């Protein structure tokens, strides 16, 4: 059987992202989302998760481009002078490689993020991370320890096809090769620890929007097994782009999730829309 997990990342980051998640759950094919523990719209995202038990909610572990849960003074190697995380994966990787990241602080912060999620009462379906930081050496070990202790049974492995989406040149190719290698290593560790992962990943890792056309192509090319598609929906680019600092077409992804043509294509191809809970229950 062909199964598709459409996951909305960055749940809780902004009210317009939360709005898109709820509407795409009610009117579209969204059945999975990962919530950022330190995000500003966290509480309303939790309310949406409670209202919609069909939406499998996981944790979007955050070490970059966001806000910590612990007081900044407790995790000085992870935050800037302003008390927030460094802005992107490149900055974090440079700190990690140089030995400037205290892994005990990583464990403490991610543990605090997980406890905050557990305290909501939501039954967490899986774990992933903002900008795929959970695949990094050392960080993946911490994440797998935490999810095992918490009884979370699945994680994302972001091994995307090298040439998915728009091709951005040799730099993008090298980046995808690097992430693909990290993802393979993380997947092996997850398997060894008994943590489930989807069979395939179809998110576009460089941040381009998964348009209706892109999503239709994924559906037509689905293989038997479980495929996850990573998406970032929102309802108003004009507000979201400046307020998140990310030039991303949130609206296009929301449109793809709620498209009648996509829903029809799924029916025609006998694809089962699911979430990570089903992945564990059904195998």
Domain boundary assignment for the chain: 2-282
Taking CA atoms, 236 is separated from 15, 232, 233, in Å, by: 10, 12, 10
Residues facing 155 on adjacent strands = 127
Q: Are 228 and 157 in contact (CB under 8 A)?
A: no
Three-class secondary structure of residue 11 per DSSP: strand
User: What CATH architecture applies to the domain 2-282?
Assistant: Alpha-Beta Barrel (3.20)
Residue holding tokens 């998140």? 244
- pLDDT at residue 177 in the model: 63
- pLDDT at residue 175 in the model: 54
Q: Which two tokens stand for residue 257?
A: 């999730």
- pLDDT at residue 207 in the model: 59
Q: What is the pLDDT along the chain (283 residues), one digit of tens a residue?
A: 999 999 999 999 999 999 999 999 999 999 999 999 999 999 999 999 999 999 999 999 999 999 999 999 999 999 999 999 999 999 999 999 999 999 999 999 999 999 999 999 999 999 999 999 999 999 999 999 999 999 999 999 998 664 455 544 444 444 556 677 899 999 999 999 999 999 999 876 555 789 999 999 999 999 999 999 999 999 999 999 999 999 999 999 999 999 999 999 999 999 999 999 988 765 4
- pLDDT at residue 209 in the model: 87
- pLDDT at residue 208 in the model: 75
Q: What is the pLDDT of residues 216-237, one digit of tens each?
A: 999 999 999 999 999 999 999 9
Listed in sequence order, the residues at least 6 apart from 104 whose beta carbon sits closer than 8 Å to its beta carbon are none
The catalytic position among 9, 10, 128, 249 is 9
Taking CA atoms, 62 is separated from 10, 163, 184, 208, 281, in Å, by: 10, 27, 21, 20, 27
- pLDDT at residue 283 in the model: 43
Angstrom distance (rounded) from CA 117 to CA 19: 20
Quote the DSSP letter at residue 204.
-
- pLDDT at residue 279 in the model: 80
- pLDDT at residue 278 in the model: 85
Radius of gyration of the chain (CA): 18
Tell me whether residue 9 is one of the annotated catalytic residues: yes
Could you count the other beta carbons within 10 Å of the beta carbon of residue 149?
10
Residues facing 56 on adjacent strands = 32
Angstrom distance (rounded) from CA 85 to CA 131: 12
- pLDDT at residue 173 in the model: 44
Residue holding tokens 């025609």? 268
């Amino acid at each position: 059987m062909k199964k598709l997990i459409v996951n909305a990342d960055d749940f809780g980051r902004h009210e317009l992202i939360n709005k898109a998640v709820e509407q795409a759950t009610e009117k579209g094919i969204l059945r999975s989302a990962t919530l950022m523990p330190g995000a500003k719209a966290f509480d309303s995202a939790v309310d949406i998760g409670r209202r919609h038990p069909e939406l499998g909610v996981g944790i979007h572990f955050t070490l970059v481009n966001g806000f910590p849960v612990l007081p900044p003074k407790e995790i000085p190697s992870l935050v800037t002078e302003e008390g927030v995380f460094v802005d992107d994966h490149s900055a974090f990787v440079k700190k990690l490689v140089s030995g400037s990241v205290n892994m005990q602080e990583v464990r403490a912060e991610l543990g605090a993020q997980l406890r905050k999620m557990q305290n909501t009462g939501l039954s967490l379906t899986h774990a992933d991370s903002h900008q795929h930081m959970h695949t990094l050496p050392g960080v993946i070990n911490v994440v797998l320890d935490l999810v095992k202790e918490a009884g979370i049974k699945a994680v994302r492995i972001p091994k995307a096809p090298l040439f998915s989406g728009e091709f951005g040149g040799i730099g993008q190719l090298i980046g995808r090769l690097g992430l693909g290698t990290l993802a393979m290593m993380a997947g092996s560790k997850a398997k060894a620890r008994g943590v489930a992962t989807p069979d395939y990943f179809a998110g576009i890792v460089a941040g381009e929007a998964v348009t209706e056309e892109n999503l239709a192509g994924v559906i037509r090319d689905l293989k038997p097994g479980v495929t996850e598609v990573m998406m970032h929906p929102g309802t108003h680019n004009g507000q979201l782009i400046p307020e998140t600092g990310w030039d991303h077409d949130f609206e296009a992804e929301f449109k793809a999730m709620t498209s009648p043509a996509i829903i029809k294509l799924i029916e025609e191809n006998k694809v089962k829309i699911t979430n990570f809970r089903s992945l564990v229950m059904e195998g």
